[in-house]
Amino acid sequence: MKKEGVKLFVDGKRLDGRELDELRPIKMEVGVLKRADGSAYLEWGENKILAACYGPREVHPRHMEEADKAIVRVRYNMAPFSVPDRKRPGPDRRSQEISKVTKEALESVVLTHLYPKTVVDVFIEVLQANAGTRCAGITAASLAMADAGIPMRDLISSCAAGKIDGKVAVDMMGAEDNFGEADLPLAIAPQKKEVTLLQMDGNFTRKEFEEAFNMAMKGCLDVYEIQKQALLKKYEV
Amino acid sequence: MLGVIADIKKDYIKKLLEEGKRLDGRGLDDYREIEIRKNLYATAEGSAVVSLGGTQVAAGVKMILGEPYSDMPNRGVLTTSAELVPLASPTFESGPPRPPAIEIARVVDRGIRESGCIDTEKLCITEGEKVWIVFLDIHVLDYDGNLFDASTLACISALLNAKMPKVEDGKAIYGERSGSLPMADKPISTTYAKIGSAIAVDPYLEEEQVLDARLTITTTKKGEICAMQKGEGGGFTAEEVLNTIDRGIEKAKELRKLL
C-alpha cells in the first residue's frame, strides 16, 4: 500500500526513533511451556509470540507418513485478540500460506532421515501482532525445535527488510508495514547463510532489492546471536 | 483430549485420595498456585493470562459496535469462544472447535452472563440500532488440567481490566479509551473432581485422567450460584452435590481476592 499523507520519518528518524538499519528490541526465552516437548516465547517490538514443538511422534493421519524420513508440520495461528480488528478464530488463507512457507523454511535443516515414519509438529501462536509476525514466528519455532532436541544442522533465523518513504529499512513495524512500499521477509540457516524463506511484495529496483536483501540478511544474523543466547541461558547454572 | 495414564499411577492416585491425600501433596480443598498477569496484549481491549499450576490460559476482550438482538434491543451482546490450540497439549488437534472446547466456552459464558457481572444495558449506544458487542476469546496455552477455572479467572480478569474504546458520532475510536466496562460482579468458578469416594478441588491433568465425575460451580460475590456443570460419566449423590456446593462457595471467596 502506498502511503498518502502519512509521515513515516520524523527528524530523519523512523516513527519509533530507530535508524534505517536498526532492529526493534527482541527478547527470547525457551522452555516456557510444560506440556510441549520444546517451546519458546518471543517478544519482537510489539509482537508477542509463543511457539511449541512436539515430536518426533507418530503421524496422524497415517497416510501422511513417509517411509524413509520424518515429516515436519507447521501451524501458524493468530489469537482473535492479537490484532486491532478481532480475527475470526481458525485458519484463513493468509495463515495457511504462512504455515506452508514456514514449514518449508524450517524443514530444510532438520535431520529427517533419523526418524522415519514420524512427524515433528510445530505450532506458532501469535498473541499480539505488529508487523513481522512470520519472521518472529519462524525464529521462535526454530528455538522451540532446538529446545525439544530435534536434531538439526542449524537454527533458522528470520528478519524482514522493506522500503518506507523511498528508503530501504530493516524490520518494519506496524505503521511502516501498512504504508510502506515494499516488504521482503527472509529466513536463513545462518552457518552457510543459506536462504530458506524469501517472499516479497511491493516495488523495488534491482539496486534497492540488493540493499534490502543485505539488510535483512544482517538482521537475520543479529537474530541468530540472540537465539543462541536464549538457548545457552536455559542451561546456565 | 486427555491422553493415557499408567494403571499403576491411576491406582496410586485413587489409593492416596481414599486417605484424603493427593499425589502432588495438596489437600482436597487446595488450589495449585495461581498467578494472574493482566493486560499483556495491547491489541485487546483487555486481556489476562492465568497460570494455575502448569495450566496457562489467555483471555482477550475485543469490542465492536453492532446491532442488538431484536428481543433485547437495549442490551449489549456477549460472545464467548474457546480455542484448544494444539500448542497447548500433545492431545489437542487443530481444526474447528470440538465439543470439549465448546463446553468450556459455554460454561464460562453462562457463569459470566447469569451472574449479571456485565451491566449490558450500559453497553447500549442507540436502542434497537447500535450496541457494544463484546467478544471474549479463551486461548489455552498449556493444558495441565482444570481449564474451566483457569478460563473463568482469565475471562473475568480480562473483563475487569478492559478499557472501552471511545464512541463519537456513533463510531468507535479504538485509539482512545473511555473507561472500564460496566462490571457489577466477579463470578468465580470452582471445579471438583470425584475420584472414588473423594472429591477434590482443582484437578490437575493426572487427576482428570482418572476422575469419575466433575462438578463446576460458579458463584457470585453474594455467594449465590449462577452456573453449574456436571461432567463425565460417573455420578454424585445428592449429599455430595450439596456438600460440594458449600465447599465451592467458600473457596470462591478466596479466589475472588486474587482479582
Instruction: State whether B87 and A33 contact (CB < 8 Å).
Output: yes
pLDDT for residue A11: 87
Instruction: State whether A46 and B83 contact (CB < 8 Å).
Output: no
pLDDT for residue A30: 98
Question: Is the pLDDT confidence value at A23 over 70?
Answer: yes
Q: What's at B169, amino acid-wise?
A: D
pLDDT for residue A59: 96
Name residues whose C-beta falls within 8 Å of residue A205's C-beta, 6 or more positions apart in sequence: none
How large is the C-alpha radius of gyration of chain A?
18
Instruction: State whether B81 and A34 contact (CB < 8 Å).
Output: no
Q: How many CA atoms lie within 13 A of A140 on its CB side?
A: 34
pLDDT for residue A4: 60
Nearest CA-CA partner of B58 in B142, B146, B164: B142
Instruction: State whether B41 and A77 contact (CB < 8 Å).
Output: no
Which chain B residue lies closest to A37 (C-alpha atoms)?
Answer: B90
- Percent with pLDDT over 70 in chain A: 98
Q: How large is the average pLDDT for residues A139-159?
A: 98
pLDDT for residue B62: 97
Q: How large is the average pLDDT for residues B178-189?
A: 94
Whether residue B74 contacts residue B127, with contact meaning beta carbons closer than 8 Å, is answered with: yes
Question: Is the pLDDT confidence value at B237 over 70?
Answer: yes
Interface residue B83 vs chain A (CB under 8 A): yes
Model confidence at A5, in pLDDT bands (50, 70, 90)? low
Q: Which residues of A touch B89 (CB under 8 A)?
A: 35
Which chain B residue lies closest to A83 (C-alpha atoms)?
Answer: B43
Measured between CB atoms, which of B40, B85, B174 is closest to A48? B40
Question: Is the pLDDT confidence value at A237 over 90?
Answer: no
pLDDT for residue B1: 72
pLDDT for residue B233: 87
Min Cα distance B139 → chain A (Å) is 7
Instruction: State whether A81 and B97 contact (CB < 8 Å).
Output: no
Measured between CB atoms, which of B41, B54, B64 is closest to A82? B41
Measured between CB atoms, which of A77, A84, A89 is closest to B43? A84
Min Cα distance B23 → chain A (Å) is 18
Interface residue B61 vs chain A (CB under 8 A): yes
Which chain B residue lies closest to A75 (C-alpha atoms)?
Answer: B94
Q: How large is the average pLDDT for residues B167-196?
A: 93
Question: Is the pLDDT confidence value at A136 over 70?
Answer: yes
Model confidence at A88, in pLDDT bands (50, 70, 90)? very high
Residue with cell 475470526: A88
Mutation to test the A interface, candidates B137, B141, B157, B171, most A Cβ within 10 Å: B141
Interface residue B40 vs chain A (CB under 8 A): yes
Q: How far is residue A217 from each of residues A70, A170, A183, A194, measured CA to CA in Å?
A: 29, 10, 14, 10
Q: Is B25 exposed, middle or buried (0-12, 13-18, 19+ CB in 10 A)?
A: exposed
Segment (H or E) for A163: strand A157-164
Min Cα distance A91 → chain B (Å) is 8
Q: Which residues of B touch A36 (CB under 8 A)?
A: 87, 90, 142
Segment A104-134, tens digit of pLDDT: 999 999 999 999 999 999 999 999 999 999 9
Min Cα distance B247 → chain A (Å) is 29
Measured between CB atoms, which of B61, B85, B97 is closest to A125? B85
Instruction: State whether A33 and B88 contact (CB < 8 Å).
Output: yes
- Percent with pLDDT over 90 in chain A: 91
Segment B116-159, tens digit of pLDDT: 999 999 999 999 999 999 999 999 999 999 999 999 999 999 99
Distance CA B245, CA B236 (A): 12
Pairing label, strands B77-83, B130-142: parallel
Segment B45-99, tens digit of pLDDT: 999 999 999 999 999 999 999 999 999 999 999 999 999 999 999 999 988 889 9
Question: Is the pLDDT confidence value at A1 over 70?
Answer: no
Min Cα distance A88 → chain B (Å) is 10
Name residues whose C-beta falls within 8 Å of residue A237's C-beta, 6 or more positions apart in sequence: none
ipTM of the complex: 0.86
Which cell numbers in the block locate residue B115? 451472574
Q: How large is the average pLDDT for residues B227-246?
A: 94
Mutation to test the B interface, candidates A127, A133, A147, most B Cβ within 10 Å: A127
Min Cα distance A98 → chain B (Å) is 16
Average pLDDT, chain A: 95
Question: Is the pLDDT confidence value at A3 over 70?
Answer: no
Name the 3-class secondary structure at A157: strand
